Structures are given as structure tokens and as C-alpha cells.
Structure 1
Amino acid sequence: MNLKGFILMFIISCSLFAQQEEDDTEVYVDDHYLEDQFYLGVQYNFLTGTKNGIKNTGVPFSIEAGFIKDIPLNKQRNKAIGVGAGYNFDVLRPNIAITKNGNDLIFNIDDNYNRYDYTSHNLEFPLEYRWRTSTATNNSFWRIYSGVSFIYNIQNSASFDDNNGNTTSFNNLTQLNKTNFTLYTSIGFGTWNFHVKYYLNSPFKDSLRTGNGEKLYFNQLKIGVMFYIL
């Protein structure tokens, strides 16, 4: 065998050996994968069930972030329970103003202010049922996550700007509910998901009345986007 033939046979042998090594290499697939996820959401705050002329002003919004632990329910791992904890920042802008009369705070439906802000910092604890088309090797998939969450308020405030540019502020209002419950659903593919959340109770306590004896009641409906990050 001449030198050229020897070199050709050597190259072919090395190629076949490398191919065999590649075929024999096992690709590890984690059949016990979890969809533990960080989440970040941005929503618009609608008011539903309003009475006595209560309406939205400005742009009320909500931002939430947290972590959800995945607990699979079947071998395929496309069905699971999610348990999480997070932070929720809410800005509501109903046309409800507060004035002070001695030691008392008077709430009234009043359209004579330029800006209304009710802000709250909350802890949120979601519990959800999770359906998805994920696999151990696919991180982009369809999902429907639906559940309930418990809201615990840790701080709130209200401020109002009148027509003269004066601002009136109040902190830690006891007239607002300390806790609330929500129903929610996230539907989407990959990172981007449509998110809707409905609050079962009004932000204001059921016993609260205006100076005219009117009940202040409405529910929050949040519609926006939710991002899930593995």
C-alpha cells in the first residue's frame, strides 16, 4: 500500500470511530424535571360592580413579582400544582376623596380633584393548577395556569391633588381591607402570557360609608401580561 492509500484509510477509520463514539454517547434526559419559576406581571386595574358614581381616573396599574414552586401530579409532568409567594404593588385611582374632620376621616365621591392615588404594598401567596405542553427538553410551551391567591396588605397610602396644586396625603388607612382573595388565570406560550385576575372583595371595608351614607364598594379586575422565567 502506498502512502496516499495509507493516509486515506487512516482518515476513514478515524471518522468511523468518531461516529461510533457519538452514537454510543447517551444523552441524559431529566424525567423528573420541575417548572419552578420566577414570575413578573404588569396589569391595568379596572373597577367592576361600581355604584353611586364611582369611576376610574388616570391610569391605575399593578406590578407583581415572585416565585412559584412546581409540584407535578403525573408521570408526564404536564399537570401540576403551583405554590408560591410574591410581592404586589397596586395603584388605584377611583374618584373617592378623603377629608379630615377633627380626628375623623370623611370619604366622599368627589370629581373636583385633579389626581387620586390609592397605593398599596402587599404580600401575595398564589395556589394554582397548572397544565402545560412542556417536556424535559422543551422550555417553550403552551400553558394554562389557574388558581387563587391570598393578599395581605403591609402598607397603604392615599393622596389627592386639588385644582390649586395642593396635595393631601394619608398613610396606613384602617378603612381599607387588610386581606383579600383573588381568582386568576394565565394563558400563553413561552415567556409571554395573558393574565387576568379578579378580586373577590372590595378594597374598602364593608362598613365604610360616605358623608352622605353611601356605601363605597367595587371590585378590582386586573388585565395584563405575565412573564414566567425558568
Structure 2
Amino acid sequence: MRIFLSCFLLLSVLNVFSQENTATQDSVFVKVDSLYREDQFYFAITYNTLTNKPAGFSQSKFSSGFSAGFLRDMPINKNRRVALAAGVGFTYNNYNQNLAISSTAETPVYTIIDSDTQYNKNKFSLLSVDVPLEFRWRTSTYQSHKFWRIYTGIKFSYLLYDKSIFDGSTGKVVLTGNKDLNKFQYGAYISSGYNTINLYAYYGLNPLFQSAKVDGESVDMKSLNFGIIFYIL
């Protein structure tokens, strides 16, 4: 009888310790998960157009853009559905159009290509490093990463590399390091959608060129890009 009582007391004590450990582990698990963040890698594909075009300017073919980077999420309310985010990334934008850029004695010269002129290619391309700062609203929870979102903010960009190409009947003209381009760019953007794939739009708030002129008219074109953006946790 004494042996039976000893075994019963031992099992009871072990059961109490087991319950306490399980409760402790569960509380820690919930506490950690409830402090989730939506840190994300992003990748965007856009169609690029331009506003404030000079007279006679037109775009041809499809002008594409690609962006990629990382955003750090910083929730600002209790349920973590409102947040701020900051990040870093890169953008490559390509513009097919009829503004030929050539150089005479290291001075860029801008000419609107006549509609009767035959040419194979005329474009300029820009590669920039980006710092996006955004305000976030979403319907996320710590149990699921599938949710509706609206993200909007400002993207600051610094031009790392530029290249313009004109390929016509007289040969190919390539120009890099155009001093008339604005090195520092900034613009507003918004993305909205559900889960991984979202609609995206960006509008440049300052001109691409700072001092370019064509036929005496300042080239004050700004970027306007539409596309889709992918968020990956």
C-alpha cells in the first residue's frame, strides 16, 4: 500500500510540472507570434511613360522598368495592421522615344527625330539606387500572410548609371554620364492588392532632366510608371 501511494504522488507531481511547462511554452509562443512584422522583399515590373513632354515628343514601342529591394516593417498600432516601412532597392527604367541625344564637345544635344527619319532604335536608360519610405495599412494577422493591403509613400532615388542610344542610317550614337540628368530623383507611389501580387503606380515629383533643352524649350519630363509589384516574405 505504501509503494502504491508513493507512485501515485510521484505521477501527480510530474503531471503538474508537465502542465506548467506546456502553459509556459504556449504563452511564449503566442507572445512571440503576436509581435510579427511584415518585413518583405519586393519586385516590380512597370510600363514607363512620361509627362510634361516637349512639342513633337512621342514614345514608341514598349518602355519597361524593373525594381527590386527590401522593406523593413515597423507597426505603429496594437493589432499591427498600420505600420511604417523603410527600405533600400534598385530600379532600372528604359524609355523608347523620339528625342535623340548626341554629344558635341562633351555637351549633350537634343533633337526631336522627324517622322520621316528612319531609325532602328532610340532610347535612354537609367539605373538608380532607391530608398522608399511608406505608410502601410493591411488586414494581416499573425496566423496568415494572405491579406489585403494599401501601401503608399515617397521613393528617393540616386542615379548610378545612364545610357542613351540612337541607332539610325548614319550609324549608332551612344552617350553615358549625361550631366543634364538629375542625379537625385524623388516621387510618390502607391501599391494595392491581395496576397503576393499587387497593382503599383509611381509619379515622379521632379524632372528627369535638370538643364536639357530642345529648340529652346526646357525638357521638364517626369516619370509616370504603372505595373505590378510582388511582395515576398
TM-score (norm 2): 0.83
Report 1:198-217 matches (<5 A): 198-205=203-210, 207-210=211-214, 212-217=215-220
Give the match's secondary structure for 1:114: strand
Counterpart in 2 of 1:83?
86
TM-score (norm 1): 0.84
Counterpart in 2 of 1:179?
184
Give the match's secondary structure for 2:219: coil
Give yes or no for the alignment of 1:54 onto 2:57.
yes
Tell me how far 1:227 sits from its aligned partner. Answer: 0.2
Counterpart in 1 of 2:113?
110
Tell me how far 1:214 sits from its aligned partner. Answer: 2.0
2:76 aligned residue (53, 63, 73): 73
Tell me how far 1:183 sits from its aligned partner. Answer: 0.3
Report 1:1-230 matches (<5 A): 26=26, 28-29=29-30, 30-111=33-114, 112=117, 113-163=119-169, 166-205=171-210, 207-210=211-214, 212-230=215-233
Distance 2:136 2:208 in 1: 28
Residue 68 of structure 1 aligns to which amino acid in structure 2?
L
RMSD of aligned residue pairs (Cα, Å): 1.7
| Residues 164 and 174, structure 2, Cα contact 8 Å, conserved in 1 | yes
Give the match's secondary structure for 2:192: strand
| Residues 71 and 82, structure 1, Cα contact 8 Å, conserved in 2 | yes
Tell me how far 1:180 sits from its aligned partner. Answer: 0.8
The structure whose residues are more often helix, as a share, is 2
| Residues 58 and 115, structure 1, Cα contact 8 Å, conserved in 2 | no
Report the CA distance shift for 1:103/1:225 in structure 2 as closer, same or farther (over 3 A): closer
| Residues 200 and 228, structure 2, Cα contact 8 Å, conserved in 1 | yes
Report the CA distance shift for 1:171/1:200 in structure 2 as closer, same or farther (over 3 A): same
Distance 1:225 1:198 in 2: 15
Give the match's secondary structure for 1:203: coil
Tell me how far 1:79 sits from its aligned partner. Answer: 0.2
| Residues 196 and 231, structure 2, Cα contact 8 Å, conserved in 1 | yes
Tell me how far 1:163 sits from its aligned partner. Answer: 3.4
Which ranges in structure 1 are unaligned for 5 or more consecutive residues? 1-20
Residue 67 of structure 2 aligns to which amino acid in structure 1?
E
Tell me how far 1:98 sits from its aligned partner. Answer: 1.9
Which ranges in structure 2 are unaligned for 5 or more consecutive residues? 1-18
Distance 2:52 2:212 in 1: 16
Distance 1:179 1:147 in 2: 17
